[in-house]
Every structure is written in C-alpha cells, then in structure tokens.
Amino acid sequence: MSSRKAAAATPPKANATQSAGTAAAAEKLAAEIQRALKAGDHDVLTPEALQTLMTAACRLYAAQVEAGSQTLPVGEVTPTDIMVTASGLMRAGNLAVFELGMWQSWTGR
C-alpha cells in the first residue's frame, strides 16, 4: 500500500478534536437556549439564526441516519413541540403528510 493510500485511509486526528469541540459547543448552546426558554425568553435566537441552526441540525441528522444511526432526533420534548416542529419542517420542504407516508412505506423508516 502506498503512503498516499495509507494517509487517505487514516482520518486525521485533528478531526476527532474538532468533532469534540463542535459537540461541546452544541451542548453549551443547547443549555443556553434551554435556560432562556425557562426564563421566558423566546427571542434568544433571531429567526435567521434559528433557521441556520435548524438547517444544519436537519442535514446532520439526515446524514447520520443515512450512515446507519438509530438515534432519535430529540430528547425530552412534548408531543406539541414535535407536531409544531414537524409541521414547520413539512412546510419548509413543501411536503404533504401523504408524501411523508409514501416515503416511509418505501424506505421502511
């Protein structure tokens, strides 16, 4: 095996450090948002910042599921939180519940 192939097959160690730092930053941001919500601050993020964050989280979750992850996307939330968010995601993707049902039956997800 050439050294170029060996280098390509071994992920760089900086990536693991970066991932740990990103995970820590995400957990810190989530905690700050939860604290703000408990204090009644619903404007802790601008609509643009929330949209950017939701877009990244949506894409990351989809990529992880495609890679085989079985982790559910949320922890402790209410059914209303889920329905409001799911409805907004469906509107953003211009999707109907029928299309979701068809996709679920085709993919088994």
% of residues, the chain, pLDDT over 70 = 87
Question: What pLDDT sits at residue 13?
Answer: 52
Range with lowest mean pLDDT among 15-29, 66-80, 87-101: 15-29
| Pairwise CA distance, residues 99 & 80, whole Å | 21
The predicted model scores a pTM of 0.76
Residue 1 has pLDDT above 50, yes or no: no
Specify the amino acid at residue 16: A
Query: Cβ neighbours of residue 45 under 8 Å, at least 6 residues apart?
Result: 33, 53
Sign of the alpha-carbon dihedral angle for 95, 100, 102, 106: positive
Question: What pLDDT sits at residue 40?
Answer: 96
